[in-house]
Amino acid sequence: MNPSPFSHPALRRGARVLLAGTALALAAGCAATGPAAPHAAMVPSAAVPTWSVTARSADLPPGVYQSAYSARTQRLYATSAVGRPPVKESRLLAIDPVSLRVVASVVPALQAGRTDGQVQAVYGLTVDDARSQIWTTNTRSGSVAVYRQADLSLVKQFPDDATPHARDVLVDDAHHRAYVSSPASNLIHVFDSATLQPLPGITLTGAGEAPKPMSLALDAGHQRLYAVSLNTAEVFAIDTATGRQAARYAVPGVQGASGIAVDSQTQRIYVAAQKSGDLTVLDARDGRVLQHLATGAGALNVAFDPVHRLAYVANRGAGTVTVVDEHGTLQAQVNTGSAPNHIALDPQGTAWVTVKKSKDDPRGDRLVRIEARR
């Protein structure tokens, strides 16, 4: 296990302290906009917080999007892409989690068939530690790519439009599958992570209009992949053993559902919604709403830490990360500034937040490390 980053001299000199505390006021204008289930609490519990958090940050290259931690290499990997097409500036980064320094980076290859200099810009990513690889989504070209963890060299670039508007990617090592979401369709794209070949996709069937899947979450222990739909406020459960949709749950009272996480121990699903700025907790077994609480404007993504049993919500509009425990008690509101975009976790329960630069905040494009302590 790595030594604590907070004891490392380079980190103490180079990282900026953002916040240390527990019960902080929620950002203004963050109330949910729709009714919730009658038994669901609309605000975090008023109980006294039992955790404190420390947050530190370091600058990253422009246009950061997502990150993922590799237990095998003990490195954090991140993606960045700048601007609209033609996107000419993009990098895949390897970051030392102790010093928070970028130790390696690579620029994706030029997109074949284009003459305007656009590269295969990387946006979403996940690690496949069983094969020492990194999967990335190339949203602009509708594709995915696989890189080696060791040197960030390209293993395979899939054809353009293989996954239109590819967003998130997850690898299920037990079944040798890589899953890719696309809000451009109601399809979860599937690849064989061992042979790197495309497989038949999984069509999501909702109650009405075709769903647009955003984030993905994997509960490997219960053989379930979860996807959340942006336009229909639904959660879809996929049986990873059969590759078929197993359940569909409505998420009442939310708008713009985009983030999802799962707690395998209690079988709870966490859903973050952008437009309503809230977090909803569902029972993964029957879809019952267990909790519903306001977090902050633009609640884009959520991650659940099974070590400390805390949920982290990235409120992109509010410039904060909300930390709540499994009982719905507010533990901290971390002011990240700018636009927190994505949250990754490592095996020790440390949260890694990629913060994009907004036009009103010059402090953007950075990595924020959040550690919870009692």
Q: What residue numbers bound the domain in which 264 lies?
A: 5-373
Under a CB-based contact definition with an 8 Å cutoff, are residues 100 and 150 in contact? no
Q: Where are the alpha helices (DSSP H) in the chain?
A: 9-14
Task: Determine the residue type at 264.
Answer: S
pLDDT tens for the 374 residues of the chain, in order? 443 333 333 333 334 444 433 333 333 223 332 323 322 333 455 577 899 999 999 999 999 999 999 999 999 999 999 999 999 999 999 999 999 999 999 999 999 989 999 999 999 999 999 999 999 999 999 999 999 999 999 999 999 999 999 999 999 999 999 999 999 999 999 999 999 999 999 999 999 999 999 999 999 999 999 999 999 999 999 999 999 999 999 999 999 999 999 999 999 999 999 999 999 999 999 999 999 999 999 999 999 999 999 999 999 999 999 999 999 999 999 999 889 999 999 999 999 999 999 877 777 899 999 999 99
Could you tell me the CATH number of the domain that includes residue 354? 2.130.10.10
Model pLDDT, residue 1: 40
According to DSSP, residue 250 is labeled: E
Model pLDDT, residue 45: 53
Under a CB-based contact definition with an 8 Å cutoff, are residues 287 and 40 in contact? no
Model pLDDT, residue 48: 78
Model pLDDT, residue 46: 54
Q: Show the CA angle centred on residue 131, arms to residues 200 and 93, nearest 5°.
A: 100
Under a CB-based contact definition with an 8 Å cutoff, are residues 72 and 347 in contact? no
Question: How many structural domains comprise the chain?
Answer: 1
Under a CB-based contact definition with an 8 Å cutoff, are residues 335 and 319 in contact? yes
0.85 exceeded by the pTM?
Answer: yes
